[in-house]
Amino acid sequence: MKIVVTGAAGFIGSNIVKGLNQRGITDIIAVDDLRDGDKFRNLADLQIADYIDHSVFYEAFAKREFGKVEAVFHEGACSDTMETDGQFMMSNNYGVSCQLWSACQAQGVRLLYASSAATYGGSSSFVETPEHEKPLNVYGYSKLLFDQRMRREMGADFAKNTAQVVGFRYFNVYGPREQHKGRMASVAFHQFHQLRKEGHVKLFADYGGYAAGEQERDFVFIDDVVAVNLWFFDHPTQNGLFNLGTGRAQPFNDVALAVVNAARDEQQEPPLAMAQAVKDQSIRYIDFPDALRGKYQCFTQADLSALRASGCDHVFADVQTGVTRYMHWLAHNA
């Protein structure tokens, strides 16, 4: 069984390769852009059959140069929400995805692709329907436009296809193998390093009607993201667009406290309550940056109705569980 993973050296892509390897699947074509050479580390401990640069893969795939492919996990994209080059973003995220989808449909290859919760942007409701889609940046729009193309071509449930098509609207994903993402790495990743370097973690102060650190996001652990991707891989008759989050919004304060207490656990120290962590300045608050005003989601929470209706009953880790696991991983692998 031959599988293609685009963005294979990236965060979610490399974890999907790992998940496939754990099933004994190694006939994997890894597609990525390794101009950032350090991303190789995400593939170094994994088993793949071949590596193809993204600049040549899509045209070669359309020409059927890789033989029979069962499925493509399409994770390759520019995920920098602060990127303002719209021409680049639309070409890289929308144009390439359309080209890949066309080739998959022509060959009967299943496509499981990464969308984003950024498609909701300024919405206060997170349901996979057009009235709730209000992106705040060109990244979110690039993802939304491809989702819209899929609806137009294949219907609201993506069922008019020659092979499975599934889109996943990822919420705030965190976990191992994201170290190359720089400013776009998760808040948990940044706080781990802040704590090591400065002895405290930083959160935004009050903004958008929320008290300091109380802005809420749907934080989802990478292992859960992989599990849901593989559930749909196991159920090839399921098509459509699905939120992929926990369905439970939690404040940034919860993340920060889990980071602090995981570090204390590594030192065999007792956990702190939130009030004590703030009092002893293990958690500190900084002014909300002007550059993010009007472009920041203060609240996200995946509506999982469509996911559950598909039959996927995966149980997601909460912040305390997932972040604690991640912090212990970082402590021994950073």
CA distance linking residue 321 with residue 312, whole number of Å:
21
Residue with tokens 């993201």: 225
pLDDT at 193: 97
Say which residue the tokens 């102060």 belong to.
205
Q: Does the annotation mark 63 as catalytic?
A: no
1 contacts 66 by C-beta, under 8 angstroms: no
In the prediction, which pLDDT does 105 show? 98
pLDDT digit string, tens, across residues 241-254: 999 999 999 999 99
Please state the pTM of the whole predicted model. Answer: 0.96
What is the rounded distance in angstroms from the CA atom of residue 218 to the CA atom of residue 249? 4
As a whole number, mean pLDDT of residues 320-327 equals 98
Catalytic one of 58, 94, 120, 139: 139
Cβ atoms of 240 and 158 within 8 Å: the answer is: yes
Q: Check whether 282 has a pLDDT greater than 80.
A: yes
The pLDDT value given to residue 129 = 97
Quick one: which H or E segment has residue 242?
strand 240-244
Mean pLDDT of 280-300: 91
- How sure is the predictor about 157, in pLDDT bands with cuts at 50, 70 and 90? very high
Per residue in 10-62, pLDDT (tens digit) is 999 999 999 999 999 999 999 999 999 999 999 999 999 999 999 999 999 99
Q: 307 pLDDT band (50/70/90 cuts)?
A: very high
For the question of residue 181 being annotated catalytic, the response is: yes
The DSSP-derived string for 67-136 is ----EEEE--S---TT---HHHHIIIIIIHHHHHHHHHHHHT-EEEEEEEGGGTBT-S---SSGGG-B-S
Q: Is the pLDDT of residue 83 over 90?
A: no
- Strand order of the sheet with strand 110-116? 50-53, 28-32, 3-6, 71-74, 110-116, 165-170, 240-244
Q: Answer yes or no: is pLDDT of 295 > 90.
A: no
CB 6 within 8 A of CB 75: yes
Close Cβ partners of 57 (under 8 Å, ≥ 6 residues apart): 6, 29, 31
Q: What pLDDT shows up at residue 78?
A: 78
pLDDT band at 84 (very low <50, low <70, confident <90, very high): confident
Please report the pLDDT score of residue 309 as a whole number. Answer: 98
> How would residue 300 be classed by pLDDT, with cut points 50, 70 and 90?
very high
CA distance 310 to 238: 7
DSSP SS3 for 320: helix
Residue 224 pLDDT > 90, yes or no? yes
Catalytic residue among 2, 51, 134, 181: 181
Around Cβ 270, how many Cβ atoms within 10 Å?
A: 7
Cα angle for residues 49, 89, 250 (degrees, 5° grid): 85
Please tell me the predicted confidence (pLDDT) of residue 297. Answer: 83
198 or 122, greater pLDDT: 198
Share of the chain above pLDDT 70, in %: 100
* Mean pLDDT of all residues in 6-12: 98
pLDDT greater than 80 at residue 80:
no
Query: Given this model, what pLDDT does residue 148 score?
Result: 98
pLDDT digits (tens, 9 = 90+) for 93-102: 999 999 999 9
- Structure confidence at residue 1 (pLDDT): 92
The pLDDT, as a whole number, for residue 294 is 80
The pLDDT value recorded for residue 252 is: 98
